Chains A and B, each alone.
Chain A
Amino acid sequence: MMEDARDLPDGGTLNADICIVGAGAAGIAMVLDFMGTDLQVLLLESGGLTFEKDTQALYSGSVVDPHLHSPPDRYRQRCFGGSTTIWGGRCVPFDPIDFEARSYVAHSGWPFGREELMPHYERANRLCEAGEFAYTVGEAFSAPRREMIEGLRGSAFSSDTLERFSCPTDFGARYAHRLRAAANVRVLLHANVTGVGLNPAGRAVERLTVRTLTGKTFTVGATHVVLAAGGLEVARLLLANRDVHRNGIGNGHDVVGRYYMCHLAGTLGALTVPRPDAVWHGYDIADDGAYCRRRLALAPQVQRDLHIGNLVARLHHPRIVDPAHRTGILSLLYLARALIPYEYARRLDDGGGAGLLRWLQHARNVILDLPATIAFAWHLLRDRRLAERKFPSIIVKPKNNCYSLDVHAEQQPNPLSRVTLGTERDALGLPRLHIDWHYTRRDVETVQRALTLFAREIDHWRVGRFEYNPQTVEMEMTRYGAYGGHHLGTARMGTDPRSSVTDAQGRVHGVDNLFVAGAALFPTSGQANPTLTIVALALRTAAHLKHLHARRPLAQSLAIPSRVVPMRVRQTA
């Protein structure tokens, strides 16, 4: 069932077994997992079925350094489907080493290993519509596939691991019909959680206060509450509720909002290969139709030996903004950048100072390279614009056999990188977020050392030439600031409340019935884009909640007077 909170009577109370706050990748995945059980599930979504300006404005906030971090209302969407409505679809699991406590990475280590997530990863992959959980060339394909860099051997980098691509699947559009049809699920749109009310002892959530932008207020009582509102919003909700715990919920040790990570990403270096067919940087298609792509993955032993973080790199076309590439396709993208959504157009930003000359140079590239540009435009229309499973990215073969490396690197956890509450309030009275994102020297060193090693490997195996300037690594990796949309670690899992917000199941330390789902839980960022792991973790938490409910005596209740009242609105007197 799906309803609009604005249509509910003011001042009512809803009850459920499980209330999930946020209908994004994590929230919807959990609800799908609860479907068909005897649990009554309430899913609260702040937004509507599509983007709404007023609701999105609730995400606004401030950033200490706007060059380093995008505004808080960018790269995340406050609507049904959450940020899956704008994501790129890249699915990659975390590596086993990402879960390890590494002596050379401060504050590293997840409270469990990758094997714990594996069954959930497989299901998450299906929900993300990324096909089978097959992330090596050998697992994904029965027949041999082209090498990424012909002749590159050795153990420092592997090009046998894959990234797979979702359609990209908008979880809202894709699964709305199932949620609507589920007898034990109630979805409420335009329902903004503004208050997380604890009992006097501060050990359980008694009620949620929910408000609409039209001025209605109601409360929700639930046996278990799951905050699945995204890596930034979860921290905001925990910090903003100070009625019982003066520093906010789960924040007795000032950990909420700290260790805020994104990833470091940038395009740098120049790999020159002898022949056009000496590399393969395009996509292979798996039996299930998912686009798959090889990438260079830094071997775990190398990370240990060099004391650096995790990193992957893809072969990339030259920088688009520089017309020297003389490629009509890339110039067309530059000229059309005003039509490209903000989240994807940042790398086309030339600072606005280039002027008419650059524009003319790009126009010249398009004209001189017209046949290839037209073919590309057709490919873009057929395989991306009109296709439901979209061709994931722009693949261009450089004319001079010279590629750059598109690097995606781990950002190490740092307590000084944090989000806090600002002084301003949003339309519902909640303090706005203030973001103070920091990277460290060690994050840059991960890239520098990995690239130095890569240059050595390329030279050793005589497969080409790789040149890069170590002095520009920091500038290039932060040229566009923190990697957008990866909001990690603000309510990290762990076993010690002094350095974590939740336990290994995502339960907030000290609050028995409050859980967190999503990337806020990640203790480290690894090399992988987060969505697949967000969904896998959410499914793991859902399994845990089902287990808890199966064990509960019928009459027992943590937070509400009677166990479960069917989900109907009760008018308060």
Chain B
Amino acid sequence: MKQRVVVLGATGFIGRRLVAALASTPWATPVAAGHRSMLPPALFETVRLDAAHEPSLARAIDSADAVVNCIAGNAATIVGTARTLFAVVSRAPRPPRVIHLSSMAVYGSAVGTVDETAPLNADGGAYAAAKVEAERLAASCGDVVTLRPGCVYGPGSVQWSERIARWLKAHRVGDLGAAGDGTCNLVYVNDVVAAILAALRLPGAAGQAFNLGSPAPPTWNEYFLQFARALGAVPVRRISRRWLVLETKLWAPPLKVVELAARLARLRSVSVPPPIPPSLLRSWSQEIRLDVRKAQQVLGMAWTPADIGLRHTAGHLRLSGMT
């Protein structure tokens, strides 16, 4: 009997890959749930739903063995979805296992090596606070496994691949000196999917959390160089602290305004250089290192080497004409 696994956020970066991966297993049947259906319905069962709408969600997970929460978005979406999901699951007559995709952002401004027992810390901005709140809501629910990935990169990653590729190509990031000394807790998207699959089949995992990252993470400067090499965007430029301040304090706000205006006006042809937010700059110097040994030992994780992951990512970006 195959597990019926509902994937919330199935049209997103991780959700899309997860649905495909589930479909290729002999033990799972994916149900792709999302706002838009970008998946061929002939291949997968799909459900159009607003995950914050309780009745819709309750119907979608009614006969599910498991639910994977891959919904991304702003703070309100994260908290709203989590509130609805865990309320529905708590009331379900046969509660499914929930794999909740959280983030290393829940560790906030912590430094040093952090394992899963480290306190959650909502001091990292609205996104981090939402992720912490979502985990708090998850804690009140029964069979929930929480995954805390670092920076999920790979083909399709807007945040940690496409955006950074554009910055590297434009030499807006590169060698940041002290500003890039922080630890880059990279995790390849396929590894996140593999961790979800393992968590779905892990017996007695209720209430467990797992960090997902690299056992030997590079610094951000090293990541930028490695990625720039894969992209052919070398030599990297040394970006001075003075210039980074200009980028984030002076240049980023108007860029953000133009970006939002273009989005509102549905001007898809307008290509606005992505702004570098100050919060991101701060994270590039944060020396926080995820302890991923538990994921290795319990979930059996073996991590994709960064050079392979970045090569695939750069190849995808080239093919899709983004670089």
> Which residues from chain A sit less than 8 Å from chain B, CB to CB?
36, 129, 167, 174-175, 177-178, 181, 285-289, 386-389
Q: Report the minimal beta-carbon distance from B316 to chain A, rounded to whole angstroms.
A: 21
Which residues of B, 120-175, contact A by the 8 Å Cβ criterion? 174-175
Give A175 to B287 CA distance when docked, in angstroms. 13
Q: Say yes or no: A177 contacts B177, CB within 8 Å.
A: no
Q: Report the minimal beta-carbon distance from A25 to chain B, rounded to whole angstroms.
A: 17
Given contacts A288-B175, A289-B236, A389-B175, 9 further A-B contacts (CB under 8 A): A167-B238, A174-B177, A174-B178, A178-B287, A181-B111, A288-B234, A289-B175, A386-B240, A388-B240
Q: Say yes or no: B234 contacts A287, CB within 8 Å.
A: yes
Report the nearest B residue to A386, measured CB to CB. B240
Q: B228, B238, B285, B287: which contacts A388 (Cβ < 8 A)?
A: B238
Q: Report the minimal beta-carbon distance from B172 to chain A, rounded to whole angstroms.
A: 14
Please give the number of chain B residues whose Cβ is less than 8 angstroms from any Cβ of chain A in the complex.
20
Q: Say yes or no: A289 contacts B178, CB within 8 Å.
A: no
Q: Is B101 an interface residue (CB 8 A)?
A: no
Determine the chain A residues whose CB is within 8 A of the CB of B229 once the complex forms.
Answer: 287
Q: Is B181 an interface residue (CB 8 A)?
A: yes
Between A and B, 15 residue pairs with Cβ closer than 8 Å are A167-B177, A167-B238, A175-B178, A177-B178, A177-B181, A177-B285, A178-B287, A181-B287, A287-B225, A288-B175, A288-B235, A387-B238, A388-B240, A388-B241, A389-B175
Determine the chain A residues whose CB is within 8 A of the CB of B237 once the complex forms.
Answer: 289
Q: Report the minimal beta-carbon distance from B281 to chain A, rounded to whole angstroms.
A: 14
Give A129 to B240 CA distance when docked, in angstroms. 14
Q: Report the minimal beta-carbon distance from A565 to chain B, rounded to whole angstroms.
A: 24
Determine the chain A residues whose CB is within 8 A of the CB of B178 once the complex forms.
Answer: 174-175, 177-178
Q: Report the minimal beta-carbon distance from B74 to chain A, rounded to whole angstroms.
A: 31
Q: Report the minimal beta-carbon distance from B282 to chain A, rounded to whole angstroms.
A: 13
Q: Say yes or no: A287 contacts B238, CB within 8 Å.
A: no
Give A70 to B55 CA distance when docked, in angstroms. 84
Q: Report the minimal beta-carbon distance from A383 to chain B, rounded to whole angstroms.
A: 11
Report the nearest B residue to A287, measured CB to CB. B234
> Which residues from chain B sit less than 8 Å from chain A, CB to CB?
111-112, 174-175, 177-178, 181, 225, 228-229, 234-241, 285, 287
Q: Say yes or no: B236 contacts A287, CB within 8 Å.
A: yes
Report the nearest A residue to B289, measured CB to CB. A36
Q: Report the minimal beta-carbon distance from A6 to chain B, rounded to whole angstroms.
A: 27
Q: Say yes or no: B181 contacts A178, CB within 8 Å.
A: yes
Determine the chain B residues whose CB is within 8 A of the CB of A387 once the complex forms.
Answer: 238, 240
Considering residues A36, A174, A289, A386, which has the most beta carbons from chain B within 10 angstroms of its beta carbon?
Answer: A289
Q: Report the minimal beta-carbon distance from A42 to chain B, rounded to whole angstroms.
A: 21
Q: A177, A181, A289, A388: which contacts B235 (Cβ < 8 A)?
A: A289
Closest 7 CB pairs of A and B: A389-B238, A287-B234, A388-B240, A285-B235, A289-B235, A388-B238, A289-B236
Determine the chain A residues whose CB is within 8 A of the CB of B234 once the complex forms.
Answer: 287-288
Give A288 to B235 CA distance when docked, in angstroms. 6
Determine the chain B residues whose CB is within 8 A of the CB of A177 once the complex forms.
Answer: 178, 181, 285
Give A389 to B234 CA distance when docked, in angstroms. 15
Give A36 to B112 CA distance when docked, in angstroms. 8
Q: Report the minimal beta-carbon distance from B293 to chain A, rounded to whole angstroms.
A: 17
Give A129 to B238 CA distance when docked, in angstroms. 10
Give A386 to B285 CA distance when docked, in angstroms. 23
Give A167 to B235 CA distance when docked, in angstroms. 15
Determine the chain B residues whose CB is within 8 A of the CB of A287 once the complex forms.
Answer: 225, 228-229, 234-236
Report the nearest B residue to A290, measured CB to CB. B235
Give A386 to B238 CA distance when docked, in angstroms. 11
Q: Given that A178-B181, A389-B175 are contacting pairs, would A286 and B111 also be in contact in the complex, using a CB cutoff of 8 Å? A: no
Q: B174, B235, B239: which contacts A286 (Cβ < 8 A)?
A: B235
Determine the chain A residues whose CB is within 8 A of the CB of B174 once the complex forms.
Answer: 289
Determine the chain B residues whose CB is within 8 A of the CB of A286 once the complex forms.
Answer: 235
Report the nearest A residue to B222, measured CB to CB. A126
Q: Report the minimal beta-carbon distance from A391 to chain B, rounded to whole angstroms.
A: 11
Q: Report the minimal beta-carbon distance from B227 to chain A, rounded to whole angstroms.
A: 12
Determine the chain B residues whose CB is within 8 A of the CB of A129 once the complex forms.
Answer: 175, 177
Considering residues A174, A386, A389, which has the most beta carbons from chain B within 10 angstroms of its beta carbon?
Answer: A389
Determine the chain B residues whose CB is within 8 A of the CB of A175 once the complex forms.
Answer: 178
Determine the chain A residues whose CB is within 8 A of the CB of B177 once the complex forms.
Answer: 129, 167, 174, 388
Q: Say yes or no: B236 contacts A288, CB within 8 Å.
A: yes
Q: Report the minimal beta-carbon distance from B37 to chain A, rounded to whole angstroms.
A: 43
Q: Say yes or no: B238 contacts A289, CB within 8 Å.
A: yes
Report the nearest B residue to A174, measured CB to CB. B178
Determine the chain B residues whose CB is within 8 A of the CB of A181 once the complex forms.
Answer: 111, 287
Determine the chain B residues whose CB is within 8 A of the CB of A174 once the complex forms.
Answer: 177-178
Determine the chain A residues whose CB is within 8 A of the CB of B175 once the complex forms.
Answer: 129, 288-289, 389
Report the nearest A residue to B239, measured CB to CB. A388
Determine the chain A residues whose CB is within 8 A of the CB of B112 once the complex forms.
Answer: 36
Q: Report the minimal beta-carbon distance from A290 to chain B, rounded to whole angstroms.
A: 8
Determine the chain A residues whose CB is within 8 A of the CB of B241 once the complex forms.
Answer: 388
Give A286 to B285 CA distance when docked, in angstroms. 24
Give A288 to B222 CA distance when docked, in angstroms. 9
Give A174 to B240 CA distance when docked, in angstroms. 12
Determine the chain B residues whose CB is within 8 A of the CB of A167 once the complex forms.
Answer: 177, 238
Determine the chain B residues whose CB is within 8 A of the CB of A389 once the complex forms.
Answer: 175, 238
Q: Report the minimal beta-carbon distance from B230 to chain A, rounded to whole angstroms.
A: 11
Report the nearest B residue to A173, measured CB to CB. B178
Determine the chain A residues whose CB is within 8 A of the CB of B235 once the complex forms.
Answer: 285-289
Determine the chain B residues whose CB is within 8 A of the CB of A388 once the complex forms.
Answer: 177, 238-241
Q: Report the minimal beta-carbon distance from A381 to chain B, rounded to whole angstroms.
A: 14
Give A278 to B50 CA distance when docked, in angstroms. 70
Determine the chain B residues whose CB is within 8 A of the CB of A36 once the complex forms.
Answer: 112
Determine the chain A residues whose CB is within 8 A of the CB of B285 once the complex forms.
Answer: 177
Q: Given that A167-B238, A387-B240 are contacting pairs, would A288 and B225 also be in contact in the complex, using a CB cutoff of 8 Å? A: yes
Q: Report the minimal beta-carbon distance from A261 to chain B, rounded to whole angstroms.
A: 33
Determine the chain A residues whose CB is within 8 A of the CB of B239 once the complex forms.
Answer: 388
Give A129 to B236 CA distance when docked, in angstroms. 13
Give A287 to B228 CA distance when docked, in angstroms. 9
Report the nearest A residue to B111, measured CB to CB. A181
Give A36 to B288 CA distance when docked, in angstroms. 12
Give A36 to B234 CA distance when docked, in angstroms. 33
Determine the chain A residues whose CB is within 8 A of the CB of B228 once the complex forms.
Answer: 287
Considering residues A167, A178, A181, A288, which has the most beta carbons from chain B within 10 angstroms of its beta carbon?
Answer: A288
Give A36 to B181 CA distance when docked, in angstroms. 15
Give A289 to B238 CA distance when docked, in angstroms. 7
Report the nearest A residue to B285, measured CB to CB. A177
Q: Report the minimal beta-carbon distance from B54 to chain A, rounded to whole angstroms.
A: 46
Report the nearest B residue to A284, measured CB to CB. B235
Q: Report the minimal beta-carbon distance from A35 to chain B, rounded to whole angstroms.
A: 10
Give A388 to B241 CA distance when docked, in angstroms. 8
Determine the chain A residues whose CB is within 8 A of the CB of B236 once the complex forms.
Answer: 287-289
Report the nearest A residue to B219, measured CB to CB. A126
Give A386 to B246 CA distance when docked, in angstroms. 14
Give A240 to B273 CA distance when docked, in angstroms. 62
Give A386 to B241 CA distance when docked, in angstroms. 11
Q: Report the minimal beta-carbon distance from B118 to chain A, rounded to whole angstroms.
A: 15
